[in-house]
Structure 1
Amino acid sequence: MQGKRKSSMGGGAMLFVLSNFKLLLMLTLLLLSSSCNNLIISASSQTIVKTLPGYPSPLPFKLETGYIGVGEDEDVQLFYYFVESQGNPEEDPLIVWLAGGPGCATLRAFFFEIGPMQIQYGNYIDNVPALQLDPNSWTKVANVIYLDAPTLTGYSYTKTPEAVRSSDTSSASQTAEFLRKFVRDHLKFLKNPMYVTGISYSGIVIPIITEELYKGNDEGLEPIVNIQGYMAGNPLTNKSGDINSRLEYAYRMALISQELYELTKTDCNGEYAEADSNDLQCMLDLNEVNKRVGDINIQQILDPDCDPATNLVRSGNPVIKGNRRFLQAATPIEMLTDPAQSSLKDTFCRGDLYNYATLWANDESVMKALGVREGTVKEWLLCNLDMKYNYGKPSMPQYEFDVKSSVEYHERLTKRNCRALIFSGDHDMMVPHVGTRNWITSLNLTITDSDWEAWYAQGQDAGYKTTYVRHNYSLVFTTVKGAGHTAPEFKPEACYEMIKSWFSHRPI
């Protein structure tokens, strides 16, 4: 009896041990499963894209897309396209490219400005616009991150309603955070020279982001990034100064007479963007100015103006429109599915071309190929109009314009070991080169070599340049002959030659 009892007790103890072992095994498997699931979630935020709808062959470059969470609790999920350099990815610069708006998707740069692909207008493959390679892609000489920022731009989204609202300063902070996290996740680019770059309204945030990266390094934030400088094209910088410069630009380009220019300058005391609305004579002068430029496309003064009349400077209620009807993903998209009906047969409107990008980006097969998270974006827009900047207008529902001028950040960067390239299309009246030159002059830098010297691309005069220095800081300012807003879209060959020289530390 006792033996049996011992046997029985021993069997019970063994059963208990086995049960614990099974429980431990189950817990271990559960933890491993959870860990694997976490790895899968992490991996799913980085998608290696080998083919794209609209392009008939495997991509001849390495394209990665994904999300990186920033801000409090990473509630802001920023979407990016990353193309490794087709030259020497181990040594070529790592740059982030920001579009304007704010709120314009970086796919615009990917297709129309500095990206590796172009759209074949009027051609379709499997009901999406056909794509072709861009011979002037900046990815030939740089590793390029095309970033949808701020939030609710392109495919970027938020996890909470509270995270929707953004601003100049918060967007800059989130982009700096994004870049550190990107390098953390891509350590092989840790030593590559990093540059913050972009176009148009991003001129407000580019120097802020750059300074924040330098400061983060000073404070020992990990990882330490190899920030070397920044680049800005057609950059809005001093908002009132840039708008004021439109009058001088209009006069220099013979769009208004010398008499009207001088009269307006005197009557308005040189202030047009914020002119006193009670000053009747100034308002009358500005009204005359606006009459004469009302049919001019201020983004490229040689292009047809496909919008209603545009005010050049303030006149009563300021209206700065420009050629913006392409921003809305409206009904023309349906028309473009039949190439024979394309409006390209009629008066050329550059904005019509952007509708192809909207059609492509909203296609389900495209979103799947890019790894866009299902249900996060109801409709992809080339530009989110809830963030669009119009001088003199109040902040928008989703965005606060809390930086009037970023010149002070450029001033801070002059104390750094830093390189800068600022370029402007000389046919851009939205952010005229004369205003850009004005704020650069205010930095009180020293001009090296000759001032306003011609630079060349393909054996032709491609614009003019001035180089400035202060201690370890250098800034090159160039105009791009014949280019509008934005320069790489209008003069891709010249801009490619320009940046190829600058990235390699050769004279432009």
Structure 2
Amino acid sequence: MAFRKLTNMTILVLILILILVITASSSKPVDTLPGFPGKLPFNLQTGGHGIRAAILLVRGIRKESRGRSSFALADWRPRLFWFLWPRLRSPLMFDYAKSRGSGTLPTLKLNPFSWTKVASMIFIDAPVGTGFSYATNPESYGVTDTLAAAHNYQFLRKWLLSNPKFQKNPLYIAGDSYSGIILPILVKTISDGNEIEGGGKRMNLKGYILGNPVTDLSVDKNWRIPFYHKLALISDQFYQATKTNCKGQYINVDSSNAACFQNLQLVSECVRNIFTAQILEPNCFDAATKEAKAFGWDPSNLTHHNQLNLLLPNAFHHTPTWCRSYNYVFSYIWANDGEVQTALHVRKGIKMEWNRCNRSLSYTYDVTSTVPYHKYLINKDYKVLIYSGDHDAVIPYLGTMTWIKSLNLSLKRDWLPWYVGGQVGGYTLQYTQGNYNLVYATVKGGGHTAPEYRPEESLAMISRWLAGFPI
């Protein structure tokens, strides 16, 4: 039940800034955005494509540099098609210091660690009903894991056919968290489609990227307790007793195993007040959810600028400790502003309110493990990066390493540190099989997901990997 609650949150949490929008089956340029001074120093387009009765949304970002046009750069830059949590990979971010308590629209600034520095990126709000995406047919809001992958495949095909100049760009499918379920299905679908389609319709798929990925419900959850032990959240004695009584299986426990249940209850008590997404950070209420009404504010009122003085910082006097989730408030204020929606070409009258998490959708979880998809893909010529924030207890790195090892690949490079600015950024392994190459990396101090907590290190990681260098 706890995992279902997690997936409801993560698959529907989309975007903090640069919300994806729809006008028609074409894109429109966005030159300025409320909250950012002057013209945008990069090329941003927003638009969408209809897929059956649903409309999935896209934004394309092409980073510009002095002396060269964005389209010239697009001739060679790899393209990343990104699922979930793109906020710290985007070229803009909120300037929290200038926005807090200002009584005006939140201020935007350039993100120094944006992944658009090394790749052109397409972000998509999916499934339909998230962000500003919508469907004209109510039945289209009912989605499954496999249907979500199919929708995204249809979208990519339509987008590339509409933008043939990008057909030859190296394409990587990327995402984190629950996209670990959707993405491998999509990659297999693209791979199979490429074997059928002619050269003019083939996608130039080079590989895929997954961060802190949900992969196998049993493996991911079962490694949480060993992770708690390794990170000193439960004692050696307590861990050994739990391991013995539960026989190393901490989920789907036999109801007659009273000793195991008792141990698991004690484990739950030990970690009850731990922020599992990054165990070193404080455990706080989510400042970007409806539940936060209990703390004196209502996100439904955040379209009014005068709410800022009430919200920040005084609204958080109940918990004096700084909490990362407090910053999510700005996404509600910014995305629900009328001028922002006009600048982004949001179609009027379709969506009444932007929510960071849409828990009202009808979503069926019909895939419990994508390990079989990975095993299928190891026979292809793909370049793969899997990374984990090593302080994430939601999807512990131990579980991710376990299912990677189950692929039975050849170990090319054993566990070694990688560096940023002369300091250890994490550790890495490299596996191969034929022309299939998989790099696994931990991001030291990273949480769920790593770039939010360690943006500089994560940019260095993706930059080196895309360039073909060791991380």
Deviating more after overlay: 167-176 vs 271-280: 271-280
**2:323 maps to what in 1?**
349
Deviating more after overlay: 221-230 vs 133-142: 221-230
Q: Is it true that 1:284 corresponds to 2:262 in the alignment?
A: yes
Q: Is it true that 1:54 corresponds to 2:35 in the alignment?
A: yes
Deviation at 1:85, TM superposition (A): 3.4
Match of 1:213 among 181, 190, 215: 190
**1:379 maps to what in 2?**
353
The structure with the larger Rg is 1
Report the Cα distance in structure 1 between the residues aligned to 2:331 and 2:50, rounded to whole angstroms: 26
**1:363 maps to what in 2?**
337
**1:23 maps to what in 2?**
none
Deviation at 1:262, TM superposition (A): 1.4
Determine helix, strand or coil for the equivalent of 2:178: helix
One-letter amino acid matched to 1:123: K
> 1:155 touches 1:380 (CA, 8 Å); kept in 2?
yes
Q: 1:340 to 1:245 in 2, by over 3 A?
A: closer
Greater RCO, CA 8 A, separation 6+: 2
> 1:64 touches 1:83 (CA, 8 Å); kept in 2?
yes
Q: 1:266 to 1:455 in 2, by over 3 A?
A: same
Q: 1:366 to 1:42 in 2, by over 3 A?
A: closer
Q: Is it true that 1:435 corresponds to 2:399 in the alignment?
A: yes
One-letter amino acid matched to 1:209: L
> 2:145 touches 2:181 (CA, 8 Å); kept in 1?
yes
Match of 1:337 among 291, 295, 308: 308
**1:29 maps to what in 2?**
none
Determine helix, strand or coil for the equivalent of 1:174: helix
Deviation at 1:332, TM superposition (A): 4.6
Deviation at 1:376, TM superposition (A): 1.6
Deviation at 1:327, TM superposition (A): 3.9
* Long gaps (5+) in structure 2: 1-21, 66-72
Report the Cα distance in structure 2 between the residues aligned to 1:459 and 1:95, rounded to whole angstroms: 28
Alignment of 1:36-47 (within 5 A): 45-47=26-28
Determine helix, strand or coil for the equivalent of 2:214: coil
> 1:296 touches 1:304 (CA, 8 Å); kept in 2?
yes
One-letter amino acid matched to 2:328: Y
Deviation at 1:399, TM superposition (A): 0.3
Deviation at 1:42, TM superposition (A): 7.9
Report the Cα distance in structure 2 between the residues aligned to 1:480 and 1:256, rounded to whole angstroms: 23
Determine helix, strand or coil for the equivalent of 2:223: helix
One-letter amino acid matched to 1:97: W
Deviation at 1:442, TM superposition (A): 0.2
**2:49 maps to what in 1?**
68
Write out per-residue CA displacement over residues 367-412 of structure 1, whole angstroms, 9 at most, x where no aligned residue: 111111112212111111235xxxxxxxxxx100000000111111
Q: Is it true that 1:116 corresponds to 2:94 in the alignment?
A: no
**1:175 maps to what in 2?**
152
Report the Cα distance in structure 2 between the residues aligned to 1:349 and 1:181, rounded to whole angstroms: 41
Q: 1:55 to 1:418 in 2, by over 3 A?
A: same
> 1:69 touches 1:75 (CA, 8 Å); kept in 2?
yes
| TM-score where L is the length of structure 1 | 0.81
Deviation at 1:86, TM superposition (A): 3.6
Report the Cα distance in structure 1 between the residues aligned to 2:437 and 2:118, rounded to whole angstroms: 21
Determine helix, strand or coil for the equivalent of 2:343: helix
Deviating more after overlay: 362-371 vs 81-90: 81-90
Report the Cα distance in structure 2 between the residues aligned to 1:153 and 1:176, rounded to whole angstroms: 18
Match of 1:200 among 177, 195, 202: 177
Match of 2:370 among 399, 406, 428: 406
**1:260 maps to what in 2?**
238
Alignment of 1:117-196 (within 5 A): 117-124=92-99, 127-196=104-173
Report the Cα distance in structure 1 between the residues aligned to 2:216 and 2:344, rounded to whole angstroms: 36
Deviation at 1:422, TM superposition (A): 0.3
> 1:86 touches 1:139 (CA, 8 Å); kept in 2?
no
Report the Cα distance in structure 2 between the residues aligned to 1:126 and 1:57, rounded to whole angstroms: 21
Write out per-residue CA displacement over residues 166-209 of structure 1, whole angstroms, 9 at most, x where no aligned residue: 01100011111111111112212110010110111111111111
> 2:83 touches 2:179 (CA, 8 Å); kept in 1?
yes
Report the Cα distance in structure 2 between the residues aligned to 1:230 and 1:191, rounded to whole angstroms: 16
**1:326 maps to what in 2?**
288
Report the Cα distance in structure 2 between the residues aligned to 1:189 and 1:172, rounded to whole angstroms: 22
Percent identity, aligned pairs only, is 40
Q: Is it true that 1:297 corresponds to 2:270 in the alignment?
A: no
Determine helix, strand or coil for the equivalent of 1:455: strand
Deviation at 1:164, TM superposition (A): 0.8
Alignment of 1:382-397 (within 5 A): 382-386=356-360
Determine helix, strand or coil for the equivalent of 1:191: coil
**1:444 maps to what in 2?**
408
Report the Cα distance in structure 1 between the residues aligned to 2:307 and 2:23, rounded to whole angstroms: 38
Write out per-residue CA displacement over residues 76-126 of structure 1, whole angstroms, 9 at most, x where no aligned residue: 101122101346321111111111xxxxxxxx523xx21101101253489
Deviation at 1:336, TM superposition (A): 5.3
Q: Is it true that 1:95 corresponds to 2:58 in the alignment?
A: no
Deviating more after overlay: 61-70 vs 336-345: 336-345
Report the Cα distance in structure 1 between the residues aligned to 2:149 and 2:53, rounded to whole angstroms: 16
| TM-score where L is the length of structure 2 | 0.87
One-letter amino acid matched to 1:161: P
Deviation at 1:44, TM superposition (A): 7.0
One-letter amino acid matched to 2:344: L
* Long gaps (5+) in structure 1: 1-40, 100-107, 308-323, 388-397
One-letter amino acid matched to 2:36: Y
**2:435 maps to what in 1?**
472
Report the Cα distance in structure 2 between the residues aligned to 1:44 and 1:414, rounded to whole angstroms: 35
Q: 1:460 to 1:181 in 2, by over 3 A?
A: same
